[in-house]
Amino acid sequence: MIEFGHGTHVGLRRLRNEDTYYADASLGLFLVADGMGGHQHGEVASAMVRDAVVDLITRGHSLVEAVQGAGERLLTHTRGSFEVLPMGTTIAALRVTADSYEVAWVGDSRIYMWKQELRQISHDHSLVQALVESGQLDASQTSKHPQRNVLTQALGVTATEQLHIGMSRGRLEAGTGFVLCSDGLTESIDDASIASIVARTDLASQECVDQLLLNALDGGGDDNITAVIVRYS
């Protein structure tokens, strides 16, 4: 059985929410998208990609195909626009079937798995992550780095032939949980704080999401904050 919770908040310093999400147990599809581009571009980009992924999954495409197709639709839209500002979005998506799961992501929205402990299974497409991997930056310094929000991959910005969609899949086991979130959550609270909430079996998934959003607001709430929790029992 799938139990899930979801929520988003504009945060304490932004005027509009460029994040969006989708959660549908009947389709087995859950996603978070964090739009960028300023003005209304970010919220348009994230909503377009959300709707495209849902459409393509409904038509029978795999999760990676749906993410790729959504990126192509957004690029086509922006090419036909005369706006100066580009519009792009991250995505972190989960698809669950009867006994397996698949995740796909682009950008720095994250996917965590919970099985007795919290583990990040996505891999940030960001400048600071690239610096860590090349040995130029210590992982402990990433949260304070002035360019921590610079992405190396984003739907609508990265050309199709250069787009790298992160992906992972595996078997679903009872007691497994997933957290999908925008960087507004992970910029405001650390992984240990996320883990302490997800671990609480006395709380429903929706209550856990509500608590994550509250904690992120207490932690500063500098950005839009979005989280989806999915539990399999």
Burial 179-205 (b: 16+ CB within 10 A, else e): bbbbbbbbbbbeeebbeebbeeeebeb
Asked if the model's pLDDT at residue 84 lies above 90, the reply is no
Q: Which domains does the chain have, with CATH numbers?
A: 2-232 (3.60.40.10)
What is the predicted pLDDT for the residue at 138?
A: 84
Of all residues in the chain, what percent carry a pLDDT higher than 90?
Answer: 80
What is the predicted pLDDT for the residue at 218?
A: 97
Residue 142 pLDDT level (bands cut at 50, 70, 90): confident
The predicted-structure confidence for 8-59, as pLDDT tens digits, reads as follows 999 999 989 999 999 999 999 999 999 997 656 899 999 999 999 999 999 9
Asked if the model's pLDDT at residue 83 lies above 80, the reply is no
Entry pTM: 0.95
